Structures are given as structure tokens and as C-alpha cells.
A and B are shown apart, each in its own frame.
Chain A
Amino acid sequence: MICAGTGCVANGSLKVKDALETELIKRNLQKEVKIVLTGCNGFCAKGPVMVVYPEDIFYQLVKPEDVPHLVEEHFIKGRPVQKFLYTPPADKNTIPVMNDIPFFKHQVLRALRNRSLIDAEKIEEYIARDGYMAAAKALTEMTPEQIVVEMKKSGLRGRGGAGFLTGLKWELCARVSGDIKYILCNGDEGDPGAFMDRSVMEADPHSVLEGMIIAAKAINAHYGYIYVRAEYPLAVQRLQLAIESAKDHGLLGKDILGTGFDLDLEIYQGAGAFVCGEETALMASIEGKRGMPRAKPPFPAVKGLWQRPSVLNNVETFANIPPIILHGADWYASLGTEKSKGTKVFALSGALNNIGLVEVPMGTPLKTIIYDIGGGIKNNRKFKAVQMGGPSGGCIPGSLIDTPVDFENINKTGAIMGSGGMVVMDETTCMPAMAKFFLEFTEDESCGKCVPCRIGNKTLLTILQRITNGEGREGDIELLLDLSQQIKDTSLCGLGQTSPNPVLTTIKYFRDEYEAHIKEHRCPARVCTPLVKFVVDQSKCKKCGQCFKACPAGALKWEKGQVAYIDPEKCTKCKSCIKACRFWSID
């Protein structure tokens, strides 16, 4: 890895690269040692710098004339050259570099490769980062079959959540004959706590367009839609601009890049219904009908939009495609696990110190994502669980924090990979109340077409409401489990088939909390107001007076050195005191 940031290039890193290439050929090592140019490492003052893997040895201040000696010692004799080894600066008062900061250190950007590097509204900046070169390659050098083969070989699986092999989806559609086919992009990101697709559309809209051009060639489509929810105005605006400027430059429309291939793309703004993220509902919505799913088969690859063969891929999936075509399937598959290749973008939110958007290789342990990249739990609280996959997913408890994050291992926990939302919870979250929150969401968003989803989810919600209200009955847990399974088995589409997952996983991992609510009329996290007594536990109270300062109703009695007391007459049960108490001493 040779740094090709502006600093190192100014110091001659490209000359070092040339010298290294020459020397490796001379020594017949060119097949064993691969040279990669990287972005700036942050060590410009010590440039040109390079890192040698797998040993992770960092060399600084390398000059072209040093290269023969370095190759001789390092690659032939296998001993690092002391003279060029990096020595950490003694001065503590310097700005840390990427590798010093866990948030950046563990990330590898592929779908987000242009993050913070380009202006989304300038097509030249995208082109300058190899933009549209993959489309050019696909349109001039590759047959549709070759594109499909490359995609299948790369192992890329749909990033919308279900993880279907992208190349296989394209192959199914490519095989169907038909003069009109459609290529569709799913930007109807609707999971609470998920904002991966929005960010890609805002920061790098051309990467989505380029992915769609390649897919269109593979299935022979000449028309397509990008379905984006209207709540993403900036994404819509930047995509629109990208489409217009791509058309102006002959990268969309008729005869793209003079290759004779045509593709027109149009944005369709959705009204923000969660169910429209389901493929058949999305297509119905574009057709101007109510966004409701239909039974499959026929699958969209055979009969999709307006009964024509169609392929629908997620935003992040499309953004991954250009580098696969450009660098090859083997390059893509070099990261990840056996069945989940490449990287995945996650939106971190909830009780973490670092809220944001991250991209990590598949198989990265959950622990690394939460503690290293996410910076651990806010306010020194304990990690309780993470909800993955939004309302369709489930929670993964603290005991499974070593789980490698890929499709298979996440499925084993009962959660799903989903589109990439990770909502992290600490011990102040009540799990039955959390399940209730998601059921409120799915009950609201159910389109109502099939009975299990429409009435089943409503019933699940009713049971959860009575549990969190302190009116839970003996047998409610069993009823929830039984009903959940039936909803999963009999619902028409993905919404109903997955909506009980938050209930199932919270019961699986936090059954004791459900039992505490039902049998002891107690909410261990002090979230469910009807179950909180608002009494200070004398043995736990540290007499600090924080609750007294927080109470807006004048219900707290406290004096320095005295245990606090809550006046039930004045208490409005707002829970300000519970939030303020650091010792869990209010029950």
C-alpha cells in the first residue's frame, strides 16, 4: 500500500511506486507482491509512506533509490528494514491520524467510497474518482452474460435486507424474453433508525445511476425508476440533478457513451408508506395504484412493473456494483465471510457515543462495531441489546456481542441483517415496551390486505399494551409466541412475515422482563409508568439531591444529607427523577 495522497505524491511516492514495480519484476516477485495506491494516511510529514501487509509494517521517508535494498531485505530475506520503520512522534500534541481513531480504523469504504471526497452536485468530481468507467467497461467490453457471471462470482447479496444474490436476480430476469423490461431502484428506506440509503443518494447519487446502467445492460432494460420517499428532499434534489447532468453528458438517454445502448431513468417519489419498500407494493405504487403487495409467483423478474420483467435492487446494492465491474469479482470477494462477501453500511443510533454511518467488512464482530467504532455506550451505562433490521428484525442481547455480523450469523440470533439500521439500547430500555413501539409502527404501516397482518399485529399490540400497563395475564407470553408464529407463517408479504420478530426475540432473550411485568407488576427498567411506584429506596439512595433538582412538580422533599422522599399527592409521574438518579434508587 503506497500512499498517493497529495502530500506523498508531492514527495515522490509515485516514483517510489515505479521503482518498486521495476524492482519486483527484476526479482520475479510481481505475482506475489501486489502494489496498491491508497489515500492519505495522515503522515504527510514522513512521506512517502507505505504499509506492507500482511505484517502491517509501516515504512516512512522511502526514496526511489532505497527501493532495491528494501525489496532485498523485506521481500526476499523477510526482515523489515529498521531504517525506514515508523517511529511514533514524542510530541503528544499532534492531531491523531485515521489509524489512531477506532471510529475510522475499522472501516473500509466501498459503497461509500466517495464519502467526503466529492461534491455530489458535480459530475466531473465523480468521474475524477473513476466514475462511469465501470459503466463504460460493461457497455463496451462485456456481454450481459459476462456481467451476470461477474456479479454472481462476486457474491454480492441484496443490501435491502433479504440478502438475495444480486447476480442470480439479474440472471433470472435476463433469461426471460421480452422487449420491454424495467430496472428499478428501491430508495424507500423506512426502518426507524436507518439512513444508509439517504446518505448514499445525497453524497454520491451518480454511483446509484452507474450501478443501474450496468444492471440495465445485464437484463436488457432501457427504462427505469428510482423510487425515493418524498421525506428525503435533499436526496431527491441531488438525484434529479445527477440524472439531468448525466443526460447532458450522454451518460443516460440515447446512445450512452456512443455505444448504442439506451437507458432513461426517472425518479418516482413515494408518500412514505413502509409497505412500499416491499417489491410488489413498490411496483403497484409506481403504477399509480394503492401500495399493496401481491402474492408471488409470478416473481417480478418475470412479471413486475406493468406486468413486464423487472429487477428491483436497493440503493446500497447499486452503489456497490461499479467497483465490482471495475476491479473484478475476486477483488470484491476478498473481504467478508464465506457466504457474505464485501462490506456492509450500518446506521448507528441510540445509546452510543458515536452516532453515524459506518461501513465495515462482513464478519466484523458486533463488539467492534459497538465499542470501537460506536465508541461504547453513552453516560457509562451498560450495553443491553441492539435492534437490527428495524421493525422486521430483532434484538441481539449483550451476551451475543461477539457475534460476527454477516447474514448467516445474524439470522441465527433471530434478528435479521436488514437494511443496516442498528439501534443500540442500554439498561434504561424496557424490552416489552420496545417491542410495543415496533408493533405500534407495523400495526400503523400494515396495508390491511391480508388478515394475519392486519388483525394479528393489532392483537399482538393489544396484548403488549396490557402487559406494559400492568394488566398482563397469566399465559400472555405463550399467547404472544403462538400468535407471532401464525402471523409469520400466514402473512402475504415480508412486512407481516417479519413483524413479530421484535416480540419473539425480546421474549427469547428477556423473558424475565415480561414475567416481571405480568407476575410482579414491576418494570425493571422503570419505563412503564403504570408499573412504577415512585418511591425512593432508602437503602440505595445516596442522598445526592439530583432527583430533587430535576423534579418540575415540587413533589420531591430532600435536604442535604437526607434520603429523598416523593410526595404522592404532588407527583405527576413524569419520570424526571428516575432519569436524574444515577443509582437506580427510585422504584
Chain B
Amino acid sequence: MAKLTIADLKKIKEDYHQGLREGGFRVKITVHMGTCGIAAGARGIMNTIMEELAKSNLKDVAITTSGCAGLCSQEPMTTIETTGQPPIKYTALTEEKMRKIFAEHVVAGRPVTEYALVAGHETTY
């Protein structure tokens, strides 16, 4: 890997944001996989999402991970963001809940109100 310069840093940032906007992904699913999430079963949730994605043949869904989302007692959690909609956090997931969320929110674009905790980003300024 070539060594980066400061100009490269800015370019990575721009390319990344442009990629998000134009990369063709309609949905981004983040599974929260800190120690707390993994201990509560996040790997099982991740596997469920992968299975459902493979079954669905969708090509516009990105799956990623991140660390602890803060509410350790309500893990496993995922955040699902679809284009033009606020990111929705789902808590205390099971595989069945996740399958339902996949079918309704990811495939059909209707967030599952009963399992959703909150919409939006946290305050970071």
C-alpha cells in the first residue's frame, strides 16, 4: 500500500461519501459487534442477515459491523439505514425478529415499528 499524503486523506473521505451516495446501495445494515453485542448473540443475527440476503437475491444491500452502540442491556442490536430515510435502531433481537425485519424493512422498505427503538443519529458535536 502506498503511503498516504494529506491530500490522499481528503480524497479517501470524499470518495467514501460519494461511494455511499452513488455506490448503488439502497440499504445499509450495521450489526453492533462489541464484546457486549457478541456475548448477547450478534454473530447469530449476522448469520441470519447473510442467509436472508442470499435467499433474497438483493444486490443493493450492504452489511457492515460496528462496536458497542451504548445500550449493552438491549443487545443484540442492528441499525438499518435506507436511502432517504432515518437510520432505525432495532434492539433485543432474535433470529425470528431479524427475519421479519429483513422481509419488511430491508426488502419492502417498511420499518418494523414494534421492534424499533429509535430513529436518527446521536448528537456528536
Q: Given contacts A97-B86, A101-B118, are A128 and B17 in contact (CB under 8 A)?
A: yes
**Contact A42–B66 (Cβ < 8 Å):** no
| Binary contact track A164-207/B, C-beta < 8 Å → 1, others 0 | 00000000000000000000000000000001001100111000
Interface size class of chain B, counting residues whose CB lies under 8 Å from the partner chain: 35 or more
Expressed in whole angstroms, the Cα–Cα distance for A356 and B35 within the complex equals: 12
How far apart sit A96 and B12, CA to CA, in the bound complex (Å)?
34
The reply to whether B68 and A115 form a contact with Cβ atoms under 8 Å apart is yes
- Report if A118 contacts B (CB, 8 A): yes
Chain A interface residue count, CB cutoff 8 Å, equals 70
Would you call A127 and B16 a contact (CB within 8 A)? yes
A52 to chain B, nearest CB (A): 15
Q: Is the CB of B121 within 8 A of A40?
A: yes
The answer to whether A516 has its CB under 8 Å from any CB of chain B is no
> Is A479 close to B, CB under 8 A?
no
- Interface positions, chain A 101-133, Cβ under 8 Å from B, are 101, 103-104, 107-110, 112-121, 124-125, 127-128, 130-133
Out of B3, B30, B83, B125, name the residue touching A10 (CB < 8 Å).
B83
Enumerate chain B residues within 8 angstroms of A257, measured Cβ to Cβ: 3-6, 9
Mask, A354-395, CB within 8 Å of B = 1, is 111110000000000000000000000000000000000000
Which segment of B47-55, B71-79, B93-101 sits at the interface? B71-79
Tell me how far the C-beta of A46 lies from the nearest C-beta in chain B, rounded to whole angstroms. Answer: 10
Supposing A103-B71, A354-B71 touch, asked if A7 and B86 sit within 8 A by C-beta, the answer is yes
The smallest beta-carbon distance between B30 and chain A, in angstroms, is: 6
Q: How far is the CA of A119 from the CA of B68 in the complex (A)?
A: 11
| A356: B residues at CB distance < 8 A | 36, 68, 70-74
Contact of A250 with B3 at beta-carbon distance under 8 Å, contacts A98-B123, A202-B35 already known: yes
Expressed in whole angstroms, the minimum distance between the Cβ of A49 and any Cβ of chain B is: 10
- Is there contact, CB below 8 Å, between A118 and B66? yes
Task: State whether A120 touches B67 (Cβ < 8 A).
Answer: yes
Interface of chain B residues 5 through 31 with chain A (CB within 8 A):
5-6, 9, 12-13, 16-17, 20-21, 30
The B contact surface, by secondary structure, is mixed
When chains A and B are docked, how far (Å) is the Cα of A204 from the Cα of B66? 9
Give the interface centre of B3, B6, B67 by most chain A CB atoms within 10 Å. B67
Are A130 and B13 CB-contacts (below 8 A) given A107-B123, A110-B124?
yes
Q: Once bound together, how far apart are the Cα atoms of A146 and B20, in whole Å?
A: 37
Q: Are A119 and B119 in contact (CB under 8 A)?
A: no
In the assembly, what is the distance between CA of A113 and CA of B3, in Å? 26
Least distance between A248 CB and chain B CB atoms (Å):
4
Residues of A within 8 A of B64 (CB): 119
CB atoms of B122 and A96 under 8 A apart: no
Flag whether A423 is at the interface (Cβ < 8 A).
Answer: no
Query: Does B3 lie within 8 Å of A96, measured CB to CB?
Result: no
Q: Which 8 A-B pairs have the closest CB atoms?
A: A203-B67, A42-B120, A250-B3, A39-B121, A355-B73, A42-B119, A128-B16, A248-B1
Taking beta carbons and an 8 Å cutoff, which residues of A are in contact with B?
A: 1, 5-7, 10-11, 36, 38-44, 93-98, 100-101, 103-104, 107-110, 112-121, 124-125, 127-128, 130-133, 136, 140, 195, 198-199, 202-204, 232, 234-235, 248-251, 255, 257-258, 353-358
22 contacts between A and B (CB under 8 A): A6-B21, A44-B86, A95-B88, A98-B118, A98-B119, A101-B118, A104-B118, A108-B125, A116-B67, A117-B121, A119-B65, A120-B66, A127-B12, A195-B36, A202-B35, A203-B67, A250-B1, A255-B3, A257-B6, A353-B73, A354-B74, A357-B72
